[in-house]
Chain A
Amino acid sequence: MSEDLQRKIQSELDSFKTTQKDLQKAISSRQQLDGQLNENIIVKDELEILPKDAKVYKSVGPVLIKTELFEAKQNVSKRMDYISKEIKRVDDVITNLEKKQDVHREALQKLQHQFQQAQVKAALHA
């Protein structure tokens, strides 16, 4: 009986830890996306205040390639849209993982409680 319970606790603990790891991964990618979005916003603001005939270059590896200003603006907006979508996606993942973690935590607490009770019973019988 108690071995069975221990096995259950172990497996529950394992899945709890996996969820925790997944959650941490999701959070760090969310932070990275946030940083990228901020950087893009700053670049967009900078492009907005440039005069219309300003020369803009894009670095591709070691070379700078001349781009049209409107093209650069378009590109940055597109990237911002994409990043915002990604942020929404990761946010959903995070909420789901948090819920999953709570479920595991509760189950774990229940099992631990059962385990303690079993131990008390065993002690009484001995």
Chain B
Amino acid sequence: MAQISATEQPNMKQVDLTTLNIQQLSTLKQQLDQELNLFQESLASLKMAQTKFQNSGESLEKISPESEGKDILVPLTGSMYVPGKLHETDNVIIDIGTRYYAEKDIGAAKDYFKRKIQFVTEQMEKIQFLGLEKSKIRDAIVEIVEMKLQQQQQS
């Protein structure tokens, strides 16, 4: 797929924006707008994933060996709960993706969520950086289009 970047990269052709005509520029702008939209969406879903991991990590803080045998309410559906007792409080089962679950002790589980949060945060930073770059290119394109339009009016 075609890539647009402000910095030079291998396998990419450098194009002077001012040599393109208005039609080409608007196509380019459209493409960039689409990509920026995609970035916004990705950022939103990453933010959601981050919150989920944070919540799971926080719930782990509440579980300790002393909670063994304590009463809990287990949700069977969103609106129905049954009473239960906590059992085997030093291990939890974690969804690690693609329908696989792994049993971990509390320490390893906390570590897991910490790693996940870090991973997601890194991805978010990457996307933010890319988004900033692309929006800069987009601004440049808009500027050049305006310049060209003015030139057309004058002549």
Contact = CB atoms under 8 A, between A and B. Distances in A.
A19 B120 CA distance: 37
Interface stretch (A9-17, A42-50, A100-108, A117-125): A42-50
Contacts, number: 47
A54 B96 CA distance: 13
B129 interface: no
Main SS at interface, chain B: strand
B102 interface: yes
Interface string B37-66: 000000000000000000000000000000
Nearest to B99: A59
Interface in B75-129: 93, 96-104, 112
A40 B100 CA distance: 10
A72 B103 contact: no
Q: Chain A interface: which size bin?
A: 20 to 34
A82 B38 CA distance: 27
Nearest to A51: B108
A126 interface: no
A76 B98 contact: yes
A72 B100 contact: yes
A64 B99 CA distance: 9
A50 B1 CA distance: 37
List the 10 closest A-B pairs by CB distance, nearest first.
A55-B103, A57-B101, A46-B96, A43-B97, A59-B99, A43-B98, A39-B97, A56-B102, A43-B96, A39-B98
Interface of B: 1, 93, 96-104, 112
Given A39-B98, A42-B96, A46-B102, 9 more contacts: A43-B97, A46-B96, A46-B97, A47-B100, A50-B102, A56-B100, A57-B102, A57-B103, A60-B99
18 contacts: A39-B97, A40-B97, A43-B97, A43-B100, A46-B102, A50-B102, A56-B100, A56-B101, A56-B103, A57-B93, A57-B100, A58-B99, A58-B100, A58-B101, A59-B99, A64-B93, A64-B101, A76-B100
